[in-house]
A and B are shown apart, each in its own frame.
Chain A
Amino acid sequence: MTTDSHGWKNLPDSRGYFGEYGGSFVPETLVPALEELRSAYATARNDPAFQRRLRTQLADYCGRPTPLTEAENLSRALGGARIFLKREDLAHTGAHKINNAMGQGLLAHRMGKQRIIAETGAGQHGVATATVAALLGLKCRIYMGTVDMKRQQTNVFRMRLLGAEVVPVDSGSRTLKDAINEAIRDWVTNVEDTFYLLGSVLGPHPYPMMVRDFQRIIGEEAREQMMTRIGRLPDTCIACVGGGSNAIGLFYAFLDDPVELVGVEAGGRSISSGAHAARFADPARGRPGVLHGTRSYVLQDEDGQILDTHSISAGLDYASIGPEHANLRMLERVRYTTATDDEALDAFRRLSEMEGILPALESAHAVSEAIRRAPGGNTDEVLLINLSGRGDKDLDTVMAEMGEQP
């Protein structure tokens, strides 16, 4: 198994590259804003007072550390490996998104920015951002595709209750990709007083690095919890990958360990149907390209036009993937696989029934991979899943899929 000397942890380089992926492909208007952000973040990163404030908020406000739960019933039913869940669903606002929103929110506050904008897909990042904006007294505007607004209505209402303005985006595929376009257009226009609180390990440098840094705490806590609980590291870590922030957050602490790392992309209806969001699993459509300021794998047609994607989970429904993932895949440090809509729904049901935990449909993709693997393992084998969010937001979708009436 691979260990150290790969310099995984020293990336990105000064131009924001993780190997061949990353960089900063933005209109010139944003260059000074990104320089300001890089410099402010570099200072904050090394400032003990900032780190202390962040730690305090993560503990006292967000509820960290989140627990580690052994899914004993599920393990028994599958008859193989032991399964542990890192319970990001129990963080305040119900997903890992709050870790990054709090980090960037405190940074925005420190930079004296009065206005925060963000994009959201499933609504979890929007809710987390609106929450932090409410806490810090910042003006907040969230861009959200109208397709996503429809399938995540309760999150739209939550954001509005938190005092945020939710702006419907009706262009393109009306999902996350288009919400990001609109957020970037807002930022280009209001660049002087506005902080763009990007929600995943995407976008131009320094976002992929900064968001990863704010999410690393997931893996750091989980690693320590595993050592305390069973005295050893897991054999495998599994996380779903949309943009990839919960996955990087979990994996980062284990990069130099002899631990298998598995990212699960949204297989949608099926890979061959084209109705999916699996950037790595479909070489005909998923190729290196530039979207939203970063070079990574992008689902695109032969002419370089970005393709519409499909996933039952809004949070995985995006045409590109964080550049660090592209690099970790190329180095064969992380394996990427897929779970279909149906597999995710099945995992959703099983975890609910057997463990009393409703996972987000995003996280259910990771659970599905564990369900696939566990029976083949022996009882000494240990799987660690990042349960990145809770499923309450997905009840409408799940009811519709199951043919239930509310």
Chain B
Amino acid sequence: MSTTERARGNAAIAAALSERAGPESAAFLPYYPIGYPDYATSLEVIANLSELGVDGFEIGMPFSDPLADGPVIQQATGQALANGVSVADCIEAVATLRRRGVLQPMLLMGYLNPILAYGPAQFVTDAAEAGADGLIVPDLPPEERGILADPCAATDLGLVAFITPNLGEARIRVVAQGATAFLYVVSVTGVTGARDDLPAALPGFLQGVRDITDKPLVVGFGISRPVHARKVSRFADGYIVGSALVREAEKGIASVRALADSLRRAGRGESID
């Protein structure tokens, strides 16, 4: 047990997002799915990224019908399912990673149906006990948050909400109101996956969101290169990279680690090679 006293839940996430290296620095939260390419390797990847000093994790739980995900994550989580990875395995993975000394905040990301099948309240209890700090559920809109919001409040687990570029001011207000942890700002209308460039309108859009809410803003979807991380760190509190890391994992742990390191350094204003 190497775990020293660690902040938990919303407090842990808030601390990770506020401890920034400088004015042009943002927290790096890699996404990685449990069970890809296999259970043991996925934990190994996350432990490696933890050693690098990333600021937190979005831990993917597989679902048979991931309709917000592009081909790379579909394929990876499909393989995780074929490997027999269950919701309970994902919770257990968090507990194992904590035992192995991972201190950064971990948010479990998954679709609603497996959580409903597990039992929403039980899921939140078990996730919190394992050491998870928050949840990201892309098919749970604000109108249905009650399913998870109450148990999350009881355990102080963060429950992230999504802001997308096509939302108007009134809707952003509604989404922001109930959200805890942070607002996940989706950079584009679309599914997850690497893209060549960030949308030019993104900085302006984030500024607009900041005028409406003071919740932390973490940008995701389409961020794949250090130059993206550099750009986004100037106006966001954090950034998430998923597909690019998962794709890199095909080449082995050293490759994911190298890409994550350059993404992390770029987001702290360090030089990009």
Contact = CB atoms under 8 A, between A and B. Distances in A.
Contacts of A41: none
Nearest to B137: A25
B166 A192 contact: yes
B65 A177 contact: yes
B167 A304 contact: no
Contact of B64 (A24, A25, A27, A306): A306
Contacts, number: 111
Interface residues of B, number: 40
B115 A304 contact: yes
B113 A304 contact: yes
Given A26-B139, A27-B139, A305 B166 contact: no
A188 B189 contact: yes
A289 interface: yes
Contact of A304 (B118, B143, B171): B118
A73 interface: no
A191 B116 CA distance: 28
Interface in B135-157: 138-141, 143-144
Interface in A37-82: none
A292 B139 CA distance: 9
A97 B168 CA distance: 35
Interface in B155-205: 161-164, 166-168, 171, 175, 186, 189-191
B252 to A, nearest CB: 26
Contact of B138 (A23, A27, A287): A27
A293 interface: yes
Contacts of A31: 141, 167, 171
B212 interface: no
Contact of A28 (B66, B67, B175): B175
A178 B74 CA distance: 12
Contacts of B118: 303-304
Contact of A25 (B86, B114, B140): B140
B166 A306 contact: no
Contacts of A25: 112, 139-141, 144
A191 B162 CA distance: 16
Contacts of A302: 117
Interface string B97-132: 000000000000000111111100000000000000
A229 interface: no
B190 A303 contact: no
A15 B146 CA distance: 14
A288 B117 CA distance: 9
Contacts of B57: none
Given A27-B162, A28-B163, A306 B139 contact: no
Contact of B65 (A27, A29, A181, A191): A181
B64 A172 contact: yes
Nearest to A306: B64
B63 interface: yes
B189 A192 contact: yes
Interface in A270-294: 287-293
B121 to A, nearest CB: 15
A188 B113 contact: no
Contacts of A23: 143-144
Given A188-B190, A291-B113, A302-B117, A15 B168 contact: no
A298 interface: yes
A25 B145 CA distance: 10
A78 to B, nearest CB: 42
Given A28-B164, A290-B116, A303-B86, 20 more contacts: A15-B143, A27-B67, A27-B138, A28-B167, A29-B162, A29-B189, A185-B70, A185-B191, A189-B190, A190-B189, A191-B166, A290-B139, A292-B65, A292-B67, A298-B113, A303-B88, A303-B118, A304-B63, A305-B113, A306-B65
20 contacts: A25-B140, A27-B67, A27-B138, A28-B161, A28-B163, A28-B167, A28-B175, A28-B186, A31-B141, A33-B166, A177-B65, A185-B70, A188-B189, A188-B191, A191-B166, A191-B189, A302-B117, A303-B87, A303-B88, A305-B113
The 6 A-B residue pairs with the shortest CB-CB distance, nearest first, are A304-B117, A304-B114, A28-B162, A189-B190, A29-B164, A305-B64
